[in-house]
Structure 1
Amino acid sequence: MQYSIPAAFYKNFMGNAPEWYKNTIFAFLVINPILFYFNPYLAGWVLVLEFIFTLAMALKCYPLQPGGLLAFEALLIGMTTPGHVKHEITENLEVLLLLIFMVAGIYFMKNLLLFTFTKLLIRLRSKVALSVAFTFFSAFLSAFLDALTVIAVIISVSVGFYSIYHKVVSGMKAGGGDHDLSNDDQVESMKREDLDGFRAFLRNLMMHAGIGTALGGVCTMVGEPQNLIIAQKAGWEFIEFVIRMSPITFPVFFAGLLTTFFLEKTKVFGYGAQLPESVRHILEEYDKEEDKQRCIREKVNLFVQCLIALWLVVALAFHLAAVGLIGLSVIILATTTAGITDEHQIGKAFEEALPFTALLCVFFAIVAVIVDQGLFKPVITAVLQYDGKMQLLMFFIANGVLSMVSDNVFVGTVYINEVYKALADGQITRDQFDMLAVAINTGTNLPSVATPNGQAAFLFLLTSSIAPLIRLSYGRMVIMAFPYTIVLTIVGMIFTYTSLESWTQNFYDWGWIEHASSLPAAEVKTDAHH
């Protein structure tokens, strides 16, 4: 079929995205310069809402393209400057290093993580115990690793198990060659019910694991990208970050585990699906065969990966280097000891993180627009009118609501920058800033589980290969996340209001943390930019 030049361009533009979405992005690009000419402040807010819209539509088109076009246009028409965008990226270089090197580093430790989760699934026969274990271990790993990496590993485990069973019930060998997992035509009719039950079982585990990444990710400075941004602005290191967050994160963590227990016991919101016995038998046989065939080199590699994991925890806990550099050390150690020396093998590890790293740079361009146009100043000023506990609660709510529909990295970055400016301008004290930073971090991490838009790990799960196989749609994710959203948000709000001030003061009194100076030393030099 022959296209005219305009038609061919339109066909290529944003690929297979729906036509209505392409037309919407075109309309945004036409409207923005006109609006900016007449009212720059309004145009800035419209741009932010347009960018949030591209995040919400991530299933139609990855936000890097439409969001990047909006950011590029903002630079062209003067809503911000390339110098300011570079400044924002430079200020957050540690976050970019985290995404590039830590995610790639954990890629080379997948064997250890796959082994751990495989044994969990096979050995724990109680669905309640298995679900709580998946939530707990996902949380624990996400506290020290990137949540995106943890969910990627669990997706790999699930795809592996689904592949094994689907091949067997389709008449192939478990370790056979290529097989279309999306095609059920070869599945015996008597096995269809077990296959549907297995899908429901995997949906449950994937959602519990996803929630676990949020429960653990909020606790430490490496759990989510915005945590590191907040820690940088506040001048906190690993241990201090954990201590300051603990008045909220510890109660929320146990509330999350109790919610997992409750959902599996009551079997509401789509939970409580059991692993069919026929499926368990096939998976156990496959696991036994794998154990028999595991050679001495593979066993040694697993042991070495355990040692590297120990190094990772120690290096992070004592802040021996920037987080991204610790990730780079993991890459070097893991590839060297596993004998991976081919450039192309190493390159595969970076495929997962680099698209999101590029998207994060677009985030920083939008942040530069927000700063230059003073968009959040009225909002911040209004929230700062509240005093004490109510001020903390309002920041938690403001961040939480926006994080439900947008991306928590974007929201957390914007709010911590604005609160930092308020500190630099003398509107708040350093102690206020520290507690507001806690409220911002927990507010962006906890309510954001409501939708796949809120957290990168959830969006990654929804757009992964496992989602269509186990029938995990956007709507089903929202419904299954709903009870967790309610519990985590309410518990977070309660402890933000009742405990954050008093426990922070206790930490000062006990000498666990120290009162900081008015501005973090690392930030004083760059503050003049604004």
Structure 2
Amino acid sequence: MPVTLSQAFISNFLGSSPKWYKITILAFLLINPILFYFDPFVAGWALVIQFIFTLAMALKCYPLQPGGLLAIEAVIIGMTTPNQVMHEIEANLEVILLLVFMVAGIYFMKQLLLFGFTKIITKVRSKTAVSLMFCAAAAFLSAFLDALTVIAVIIAVAVGFYSIYHKVASGMSFGESHDQPQNNNQTLDEHENELEAFRGYLRNLLMHAGVGTALGGVCTMVGEPQNLIIAAQANWNFAEFAIRMSPVTVPVFFAGLLTCLAVEKFKIFGYGAQLPEAVHKILCEYADHEDAHRTNRDNMKLIVQAIVGVWLVVGLAMHLASVGLIGLTVIILCTAFNGVTDEHALGKAFEEALPFTSLLAVFFAVVAVIIDQQLFAPVIQWALSFEGNIQLVVFFIANAVLSMVSDNVFVGTVYINEVKAALLNGQITREQFDLLAVAINTGTNLPSVATPNGQAAFLFLLTSALAPLIRLSYGRMVWMALPYTIILSVVGLVTIETGFLVEMTQYFYDNNFLIHHSVQEVMNSGAASH
């Protein structure tokens, strides 16, 4: 039968997505203008929930298209303006450049990364030990690098492992040419069980590493984008930021590692998957094959990548330039000294990052709606109505809840600006401002691991090409992050609620570890930043 135009429209709309999903998105688009006409505030929250829905259904349809349609409609009906969207993109230009250049830069270092992590996987047989190593390594790197950079490294490594296994399981040898079919006596069921076990193993490592980026990212001013904003508003340098955060971040870090041990030992929340012996054998054979066939040119490539890796860590740790620009230098150095000069070879490095960069721009449009409709204003005013230590607890909880449903960079930025205004208006003291800055930073960084939309690194993992290969869905990420969410939130809250943060801060003051900034200094720093 011939296809009608209406049938063709439904068939083409959002491609191969389920019909119920297409109808749901169309319903959102029809309902939003009506809601906005009657109550802009309700319409704004409806848009936020709808956008989160598109993120949750990322495996049904990449969120860029449905989320983009919702954002376009929001601008058209007046929920925000193109200028406000552009303002948000400009304010987050460093994050965008990071995605464009740094993720691509990591692509040209994947030989070194695969070499190093393959050694870990093949030499360390204890799953618990490997999980701890991934979590701790991600935390350490995230304290000096951006979490997105670190998760991009881990994704590149996992893709390498999966590609190696898939190649051999498909009956190919390790060599680049003259591939011969492998003898494989496995039944189809045995192969499926082995593949599912390997997927579970990779899911475990990726989630441990993802949480590790949060554990390390909260510690220093370069760990997360909002950390830089908070440090600038408080006029803190690198060392002072780390010291002020330490009463919360140090206990939380060790609690995170203990959680990693517990979920692996008791095999709960989807953890405890073991690397199948057959897969371990394949990876060992791959490592031996690569070692045996590695030429001096290959060794030189590894040396160049290692040197560039040192520059990457030093450049970011000392904040010699913005993260995105350092990523651009990584691309130039790695390609120039390793002979990658073909335009098409360069283009492959950008394939992974650009769809997510586009999605992030759409997300900033949703953030613009949140700002214009003042969706968070009631919560902020409610939090400021408290005083003393209770105020710290309320700010931590308020930031935690909002960071779970929104972007932690946006939440941290909004809250620190409001607290800064309260300081300059004389509503709070400088000492309380310093303590609130710690509560805001830890509140946005730690509980936000609960959902992929809370942390950009988690969202990048969810929307990566690897996620569907290892069956890592939105719901599964939320479930696997749950034990970490509970433990990190509780430990962070306890350190603040018991007064431990106040006591340690006073101890640092008494021993001259911290500089007591005057309100005038903060005002001057704010004026300079503008």
- Shorter-chain TM range is 0.7 to 0.9
| 1:503 counterpart = 2:484 | no
| 1:110 counterpart = 2:94 | no
Unaligned runs of 5+ in 1: none
Q: What is the match of residue 438 of structure 1? A: 438
| Contact in 2 for aligned 1:203/1:470 (Cα 8 Å) | yes
Query: CA, structure 1 residues 75+265, in 2 after alignment: closer, same or farther (shift >3 Å)?
Result: closer
Query: CA, structure 1 residues 20+224, in 2 after alignment: closer, same or farther (shift >3 Å)?
Result: farther
Q: How does 1:42-441 map to 2 (within 5 A)?
A: 42-169=42-169, 171-175=171-175, 187=187, 194-231=194-231, 233-234=233-234, 236-423=236-423, 427-441=427-441
1:232 Cα deviation after fit: 5.0
State the distance in 2 between where 1:340 and 1:521 align: 47
1:293 Cα deviation after fit: 1.4
| Contact in 2 for aligned 1:259/1:484 (Cα 8 Å) | yes
1:124-155 superposed Cα distances (whole Å, 9 cap, x missing partner):
12222222111111222233334334334333
Unaligned runs of 5+ in 2: none
Query: CA, structure 1 residues 272+26, in 2 after alignment: closer, same or farther (shift >3 Å)?
Result: closer
1:381 Cα deviation after fit: 0.7
State the distance in 2 between where 1:235 and 1:78 align: 37
Query: CA, structure 1 residues 45+68, in 2 after alignment: closer, same or farther (shift >3 Å)?
Result: same
Comparing 347-356 with 188-197, greater Cα deviation is found at 188-197
SS of structure 2 residue aligned to 1:144: coil
Query: CA, structure 1 residues 377+160, in 2 after alignment: closer, same or farther (shift >3 Å)?
Result: closer
State the distance in 1 between where 2:64 and 2:470 align: 27
Q: What is the match of residue 38 of structure 2? A: 38
Q: What is the match of residue 524 of structure 1? A: 527
| Contact in 1 for aligned 2:106/2:152 (Cα 8 Å) | no
Query: CA, structure 1 residues 496+79, in 2 after alignment: closer, same or farther (shift >3 Å)?
Result: same
Letter in 2 for 1:502: E
Query: CA, structure 1 residues 309+426, in 2 after alignment: closer, same or farther (shift >3 Å)?
Result: farther
State the distance in 1 between where 2:473 and 2:88 align: 35
Letter in 2 for 1:114: L
Query: CA, structure 1 residues 28+492, in 2 after alignment: closer, same or farther (shift >3 Å)?
Result: same
1:409-460 superposed Cα distances (whole Å, 9 cap, x missing partner):
4544444454455456554455544433332332232223233443333344
1:120 Cα deviation after fit: 0.8
Comparing 220-229 with 298-307, greater Cα deviation is found at 220-229
1:96 Cα deviation after fit: 2.4
1:384 Cα deviation after fit: 0.9
| Contact in 2 for aligned 1:110/1:153 (Cα 8 Å) | yes
Comparing 319-328 with 375-384, greater Cα deviation is found at 319-328
| Contact in 1 for aligned 2:222/2:317 (Cα 8 Å) | no
2:517 to 500, 515, 518: 515
SS of structure 2 residue aligned to 1:58: coil
Query: CA, structure 1 residues 291+99, in 2 after alignment: closer, same or farther (shift >3 Å)?
Result: same
| Contact in 1 for aligned 2:145/2:313 (Cα 8 Å) | no
1:161-215 superposed Cα distances (whole Å, 9 cap, x missing partner):
3443455455442447899xxxx99756666655554444333323222222222
SS of structure 2 residue aligned to 1:14: coil
Query: CA, structure 1 residues 359+228, in 2 after alignment: closer, same or farther (shift >3 Å)?
Result: farther
| Contact in 1 for aligned 2:264/2:272 (Cα 8 Å) | yes
| Contact in 2 for aligned 1:128/1:264 (Cα 8 Å) | yes
Q: What is the match of residue 477 of structure 1? A: 477
| Contact in 2 for aligned 1:270/1:480 (Cα 8 Å) | yes
Query: CA, structure 1 residues 515+17, in 2 after alignment: closer, same or farther (shift >3 Å)?
Result: farther
Superposed CA RMSD: 3.3
State the distance in 1 between where 2:238 and 2:96 align: 17
1:472 Cα deviation after fit: 4.1
State the distance in 1 between where 2:203 and 2:513 align: 45
| Contact in 2 for aligned 1:96/1:357 (Cα 8 Å) | yes
Comparing 483-492 with 44-53, greater Cα deviation is found at 44-53
Letter in 1 for 2:500: S
State the distance in 2 between where 1:438 and 1:159 align: 36
State the distance in 1 between where 2:502 and 2:10 align: 55
1:362-406 superposed Cα distances (whole Å, 9 cap, x missing partner):
333333333333332221010111222222222222222233344
1:256 Cα deviation after fit: 1.2
1:287 Cα deviation after fit: 0.5
TM-score by length of 1: 0.86
Taking only the aligned residue pairs, the percentage that are identical comes to 67
Query: CA, structure 1 residues 310+254, in 2 after alignment: closer, same or farther (shift >3 Å)?
Result: same
| Contact in 2 for aligned 1:204/1:273 (Cα 8 Å) | yes
| Contact in 1 for aligned 2:113/2:157 (Cα 8 Å) | no
